Structure 1
């Protein structure tokens, strides 16, 4: 069996070492692109679009991301058409983050794929894991919400401000709270 790289382990949900040289360099490259994106003048929309196309794994038409924006790698982020992210969005994308069409993120929304072992011995060795996040079409995530590793948010769902989403949410519901729970059906 061929030796698996730390990057391969990261993307496939295995325990990996984030201090690996390649992963460190890829995070530095993403930070360079993010610095250019976040420092671009408000009317430099074409410059921002070029940077996002280089940063993201896939990007639909009409994306709008208000700076500052942060992510770990960028290449694991895929966004659909008409994506909007308000100020201070953070996406920790060790694993794929797939975001559908017509998704709106309020300010300070955080999407995490990164997690750490619960066993102290493993965690103290600097080990990490990453679990994909999927957000369906036409989802609205209100300000300050946190989406945890492994979560899938169904199409047409709205997540209330300040919510901490720890489990999958079905389509077409209003969900809120910490932990986030379904409040009512929107369908």
Structure 2
């Protein structure tokens, strides 16, 4: 995990792959957890024959504090996941996720806002 910016009290599961070329573009906030077999890719590149249509792209990945990324998720370049959000199992996160959100799917979409206000409604 050399180069990845990891906060305090972060759990990283087994077989997690952080971008091997640009790990310095990945930041994980305090008290977050990353499930087994997740992939974080801070860059993309086309093959020699497709680079004109799909140029190399390098952008940071920002994971907020208190975020739970469940097993098997893929997080791609340029994504920010807001504080206290949950990403459902096997999701592909290709766009920003606001704070206090439950997001899942392929591509991941916010399906519910979570937090104190939501807990008060359920009580």
Q: TM-score, normalised by structure 2?
A: 0.82
| Structure 2 residue corresponding to 1:176, chosen from 97, 104, 107 | 104
Which 5+ residue runs of structure 2 have no aligned equivalent? 116-123
Q: Residues 126-171 of structure 1: CA distance to partner in whole angstroms, max 9, x if unpaired? A: x733211000000000000000110000000000000000000000
Q: CA deviation at 1:115?
A: 0.7
For 2:16 and 2:37, locate their aligned partners in 1 and report how far apart those are by CA, in whole Å: 5
Cα 1:100/1:121, change in 2 over 3 Å: closer
Q: CA deviation at 1:114?
A: 1.4
Indicate the residue corresponding to 1:81 in structure 2.
8
Where 1:156 maps in the other structure, the secondary structure is coil
For 1:167 and 1:82, locate their aligned partners in 2 and report how far apart those are by CA, in whole Å: 26
Q: Hey, which of these two has a bigger chunk of helix by percent? A: 1
Count of residues in correspondence between the two structures: 112
| Structure 2 residue corresponding to 1:186, chosen from 105, 109, 114 | 114
Q: TM-score, normalised by structure 1?
A: 0.55
| Structure 2 residue corresponding to 1:114, chosen from 29, 38, 43 | 43
* Higher RCO, Cα 8 Å, sep 6+: 2
Q: Is the 8 A contact 1:117 1:129 kept in 2?
A: no
Q: Hey, which of these two has a bigger chunk of strand by percent? A: 2
Cα 1:186/1:117, change in 2 over 3 Å: same
Cα 1:107/1:121, change in 2 over 3 Å: closer
